[in-house]
Amino acid sequence: MRGRGRQAILALVLVLGTAGCGKQSSSPSGSASGVTLTGAGASFPYPLYSKWIAEYAKVAPEARINYQSIGSGGGIQQLKAGTVDFGASDAPLSDEEMKAMPAPIIHLPAAAGAVAVVYSFPNLRGTLRFTGPVLAAIFLGEITRWNDDRIAQLNPGVTTPDLPIAVIHRSDGSGTTHLFTSYLATVSKRWSDKAGLGKSVKWPVGIGAKGNEGVAGMVKQTPGAIGYVELAYAIQNTLSFGAIQSPAGEFVTPSAASVAAATTGAASAVQKDVRVSIVNSAGAGAYPISGFTYLLVYREQKNAAKAEALVGFLKWAMSQGQSYAEDLDYAPLPEAVVALNEDAIQIIAAGSSGAGAG
């Protein structure tokens, strides 16, 4: 979908915080009446999750769902504290983080998405090209003006202004940051040595903003700014975003199709561990800064009615829910990943050791 139709959908989902109410009386899950599920975490998939919640309310109105877009780090902390029924993160939990949780956690890849490199200055014509090392040099503060020769050499025929580069980054713990810094660490040893990767890093330069929403807003209002956001936020805010050089030498722009290309070939790795990276995929047409985003749930739930409602929603998300991904510029999951998720969902149940919200 392109143009006004997609803009209308994005405008709707970016302001939705809770589900609407549907009129159908039956639920695909048979969930108990009046159950409310609460989730929190990544802003990266918020447009998609908001759409899911609104659509699921039409088929299961008795299962109310709220999702708070507070960043991956915040979502993980709330899940650990047992104040939400599910968390969401673009950065899967490490083995150490898994051990620190009060009970076993299931990772469910929800969709795949792209981190767009966005920028803002007047009168630019054309899409800027970036290589990994040039991006790393910008975010390290080593390239400080837009007319730097290293940028100009990548963009023949495009005139960039003699304007300072204003780096904008996330201020909160963020799966989007984890994905972006994972890419920079993969393509630049200097970045890996100086800043590293993670949901939060010590940024060498720049100004912090909270959430994908905050970064997009600050880039839009700051001439000469550059930042990184999930693709839907770039489109909703009419921000320019760059083409990134892939390992194959192609300059690829983010899209549902180029993210799907990045997931190709991940099936065998996912079979071993769903916490797989698809950053800098060598596949033809693959966008380099792509990744899965995850729903995090406890294997055992404290509340039987909530467990039933959660299973119903997750099953729907892995089937009908995937059909909404592409219109919002995410890539739906490969069939092999959906099958793994469906197997994992089957083992979610109420139990005395569950650590979810009561």
- Cα 21 to chain centroid distance, Å, stands at 26
| Residue at 24: amino acid letter | Q
Residues 6+ apart with CB under 8 A from 84: 38, 39, 40, 68, 75, 78, 356, 357
The answer to whether residue 320 scores a pLDDT higher than 80 is: yes
Torsion from C-alpha of 75, 32, 348, 103, nearest 10 degrees: 50
- Taking residues 144-159, report their average pLDDT: 95
Cβ(127)–Cβ(243) below 8 Å: yes
Q: Output the pLDDT for position 5.
A: 41
In 3-state terms, what secondary structure has residue 115? strand
The answer to whether residue 82 scores a pLDDT higher than 60 is: yes
Quote the DSSP letter at residue 323: G
Q: Where residue 354 falls among pLDDT bands split at 50, 70, 90?
A: low
Instruction: Tell me the β-bridge partners of 108.
Output: 295
Residues 6+ apart with CB under 8 A from 17: 50, 66, 67, 68
List pLDDT tens digits, range 329-353: 999 999 999 999 999 999 998 664 4
Query: Considering only CA atoms, which of 340, 350, 346 is closest in space to residue 270?
Result: 340
Q: Residue 9 is encoded by which pair of tokens?
A: 């959908």
Q: Output the pLDDT for position 25.
A: 33
Determine what percent of the chain is predicted with pLDDT higher than 90. Answer: 80
Determine what percent of the chain is predicted with pLDDT higher than 70. Answer: 88
Residues of the chain with CATH 3.40.190.10: 4-112+292-350, 114-272
List pLDDT tens digits, range 230-287: 999 999 999 999 999 999 999 999 999 999 999 987 777 888 899 999 999 988 999 9
Taking the C-alpha atoms of residue 284 and residue 249, their distance in angstroms, rounded to an integer, is 10
The answer to whether residue 210 scores a pLDDT higher than 70 is: yes
Global pTM? Answer: 0.86
The answer to whether residue 295 scores a pLDDT higher than 70 is: yes
Quote the DSSP letter at residue 164: B
Cβ(241)–Cβ(233) below 8 Å: no
The answer to whether residue 357 scores a pLDDT higher than 50 is: yes
CA angle 198, 265, 273 (to 5 degrees): 50
Helix (H) or strand (E) holding 6: helix 4-13
Backbone φ and ψ for 333, nearest 5 degrees, come out as -70, 145
Backbone φ and ψ for 106, nearest 5 degrees, come out as -105, 130
4-112+292-350 is classed in which CATH architecture? 3-Layer(aba) Sandwich (3.40)
- Taking residues 136-159, report their average pLDDT: 96
Mean pLDDT computed over every residue of the chain = 89
The answer to whether residue 131 scores a pLDDT higher than 80 is: yes
Q: Output the pLDDT for position 264.
A: 87
Q: Output the pLDDT for position 122.
A: 81
Domain covering 114-272, topology: D-Maltodextrin-Binding Protein; domain 2 (3.40.190)
Q: Residue 203 is encoded by which pair of tokens?
A: 């940024």
Q: Please classify residue 285 by burial: count the beta carbons closer than 10 Å to its beta carbon, then call 0-12 exposed, 13-18 middle and 19+ buried.
A: middle
The answer to whether residue 15 scores a pLDDT higher than 50 is: no
- Please give the sequence-ordered ranges of beta strands (E in DSSP) within the chain, or none if there are none: 35-41, 63-69, 86-89, 105-120, 129-130, 166-170, 207-209, 225-230, 240-241, 243-245, 251-252, 290-298, 300-301, 349-350
- Taking residues 124-135, report their average pLDDT: 93
Q: Using a CB cutoff of 8 Å and minimum separation of 24, what contacts does 146-149 make?
A: 146/121, 146/224
Name the pairing type of β-strands 207-209 and 86-89. unpaired
